[in-house]
Structure 1
Amino acid sequence: MEFKYNKGEWSEFYVFLHTLASGKLYAADSSMNKVPNVYYKILSSIRRDIEYNRDSSTNQIIFEYENTQITIPISTFESMEEILIEKIQLGTGTFSIPEINSIIEQLKINSIKERSDTKGDIILKIHDDVTGFEPTLSFSIKSYLGNKPTLLNASNGTVLKYQLSAPISENEMNRINSLSGSSKIKNRISAIRDLGIDLLYKDVPSTIFKENLQMIDYRLPEIISQIFLESYFVRGKKVSEVVQSFLDYNPTENPRIIKYKVQEFLVAIALGMVPLTEWTGLDEANGGYIVVKENAEVLCYHIYDRNRLKEYLYNHTKFDTPSTGRTSAGLLVHNEGGELEFSLTMQIRF
């Protein structure tokens, strides 16, 4: 069987091999550096109802398949993860890695992608030295081995709508919409402002995403919409810098509260909140957040280290402008009531 995946998907399998091979998952600080004295001992990993147990006394990975016990030397995992990481770094697009087919088949894996109903990207059983417990936890994985990963993908769910503070003529509307080029959306927003007109928050059309945001704070749909609008005028669009720019122009807002709300929003997305699924307020990835760095180092923001995760996300993410394609995003359009509206589609990446 040929297995073809992209770098992000292969990275998830790399984390699976790496954690079982090393038996440790090191913590990261807020700058994504390893904390040498903090790590979580890996006891097993669970994939598609199979539990792969790490036996350090025999240096074996042991699991049961169809009532038969199967053992694979940990050294095999170590050699395979080295091959895998080399091929991931060299690969482009979607690609196969024939050299590791043998380990995939030995592990009785039909697909390295987790089922869509699985919470998180990997499930690990760890020994927690803090509590002495051995919980089974799900983790979200983000990989820097390929293109910078996205935190929040653009979709119909992430559309934000704005209304004009005053009416404009059809001629002005057409003139503004005709502005083109790589900075067309920024230029259109500037053209509206040059008329002495503000773009005011109107709505998040996706009821689900709007309510998910309101679970964090009832005002968050408005706050995030205005902050995202501000991102078009901040070089680099780094979230922390955009928030500061927003605060500079909105002195009545409390900086401590705004920063906290934005951080909670980022953490909620990182741990499983998605725009088009009703969110309970609970973390889907209840173990935390695993990062695969460009140098293949695997680090973790454990759920206990929520503050580190907050700072990492706040200082390492940026707002992004996805392609408008055939949508009306970035254009002045009349709604059903004849009023002019302006919409943007939000995306956040590392």
Structure 2
Amino acid sequence: MNPLLDGGRTANLKFEQTGIKFATPTVSKVNALESANEVADRMMLIDRLGGVLKYADVADKVFRCNLLMIDLHFPRLLAEMLRVMQLDGITRVSELTEAMNSINPLKIKDELITKHHYYEFKMKQFLLALALGMRPAKIYNGTDSAVEGMLLVSGNGEVLCYHKSDKAVFEDFLYLNTRFEKGAVEKDKYGFLERENGVYYFKLNAKIGLVKR
């Protein structure tokens, strides 16, 4: 089936390259690096050269607004999850969310994390919105599309049904059975330093699909 989130380059988030100001040959050296894990390797090379990648913005204004509908700080949370996914190789949404509980990228109070499960709550909201029709390039106002649920066939032929009328069960299924995926670097235009208005940015791509069984 199609990924829950696959907006191509529309789903890119931007990190500003701060720290040491890179000369053009240095930028070229970073962008020319090729490997089996080139996005993470370029990020680590930037770090070794004295650069710092600081979250800046969502590349597309519609996707930015859609993420803000979940929470005004949600783009920053998603950006941190993408960074950890690339550098640490953690892909499952549930495991990345657990990592956010420790990292606490939004610097919220411990009580919100431990008692209210803030990060888990926000990710479940986001995943359910995606399942019910949110798309990066389409204006989202909280209204569900014609999609009301999901039918899946298990490995032994059992049909599984998840519907928005049983919101908690649907959310739990999505939370435990989704993962971040790595889109094609060339196609989705991310994973390299590019200059905008005199500032270098490094983009990461958000793509989420169901765990394959």
- TM-score > 0.5 by shorter chain: yes
Give the residue type in structure 1 aligned to 2:209.
R
Task: Spell out the pairing of 1:104-123 with structure 2 (5 A cutoff).
Answer: none
Residue in structure 2 matched with residue 223 of structure 1 by the alignment: 77
RMSD: 2.0
Alpha-carbon distance, 1:305 to partner: 1.6
Alpha-carbon distance, 1:348 to partner: 0.8
Residue in structure 2 matched with residue 235 of structure 1 by the alignment: 89
> Which residue among 27, 36, 44 is the counterpart of 1:182?
36
Alpha-carbon distance, 1:205 to partner: 2.1
Alpha-carbon distance, 1:249 to partner: 2.6
Alpha-carbon distance, 1:286 to partner: 5.7
Task: Spell out the pairing of 1:140-151 with structure 2 (5 A cutoff).
Answer: 143=1, 149-151=2-4
> Gaps (5+ residues) in structure 2?
none
CA contact (8 A) 2:7 2:137 kept: no
Q: C-alpha distance in 2, partners of 1:204/1:281? A: 19
CA contact (8 A) 1:286 1:303 kept: no
Residue in structure 2 matched with residue 166 of structure 1 by the alignment: 19
Residue in structure 2 matched with residue 340 of structure 1 by the alignment: 200
CA contact (8 A) 1:271 1:283 kept: yes
Runs of 4+ in structure 1 deviating by more than 4 angstroms, as ranges, are none
Residue in structure 1 matched with residue 59 of structure 2 by the alignment: 205
CA contact (8 A) 2:82 2:205 kept: no
Alpha-carbon distance, 1:270 to partner: 0.5
> Gaps (5+ residues) in structure 1?
1-142, 144-148
For 1:322, what is the secondary structure of its paired residue? coil
> Which residue among 187, 190, 196 is the counterpart of 1:329?
190
Q: C-alpha distance in 2, partners of 1:193/1:177? A: 14
| Structure with more relative contact order (C-alpha pairs < 8 Å, separation 6 or more) | 2
More strand by share: 1
Residue in structure 2 matched with residue 309 of structure 1 by the alignment: 170
Q: TM-score, normalised by structure 1?
A: 0.54
Q: C-alpha distance in 2, partners of 1:307/1:194? A: 44
Q: TM-score, normalised by structure 2?
A: 0.85
Matched, 1:259 2:120: yes
Give the residue type in structure 2 aligned to 1:345.
N
Q: C-alpha distance in 1, partners of 2:209/2:164? A: 21
Matched, 1:272 2:137: no
Residue in structure 1 matched with residue 181 of structure 2 by the alignment: 320
> Which residue among 98, 122, 126 is the counterpart of 1:244?
98
1:66-120 CA-to-partner distances (Å, cap 9, x unmatched) read xxxxxxxxxxxxxxxxxxxxxxxxxxxxxxxxxxxxxxxxxxxxxxxxxxxxxxx
For 2:4, what is the secondary structure of its paired residue? strand
Alpha-carbon distance, 1:213 to partner: 1.2
1:276-310 CA-to-partner distances (Å, cap 9, x unmatched) read 11112022146322222233322211222211111
CA contact (8 A) 1:234 1:242 kept: no
Q: C-alpha distance in 2, partners of 1:279/1:154? A: 14
For 1:233, what is the secondary structure of its paired residue? helix
Q: C-alpha distance in 1, partners of 2:71/2:163? A: 24
Segment drifting more, 325-334 vs 260-269: 325-334
Residue in structure 2 matched with residue 153 of structure 1 by the alignment: 6
Taking a change above 3 Å as real, the CA distance of residues 326 and 312 of structure 1, as seen in their structure-2 partners, is closer
Q: C-alpha distance in 2, partners of 1:348/1:286? A: 18
For 1:231, what is the secondary structure of its paired residue? helix
Taking a change above 3 Å as real, the CA distance of residues 327 and 303 of structure 1, as seen in their structure-2 partners, is closer
Alpha-carbon distance, 1:275 to partner: 0.9
Residue in structure 2 matched with residue 73 of structure 1 by the alignment: none
Matched, 1:284 2:154: no
Taking a change above 3 Å as real, the CA distance of residues 290 and 327 of structure 1, as seen in their structure-2 partners, is closer
For 1:348, what is the secondary structure of its paired residue? strand
CA contact (8 A) 2:128 2:171 kept: yes
Segment drifting more, 233-242 vs 286-295: 286-295
Give the residue type in structure 2 aligned to 1:186.
A
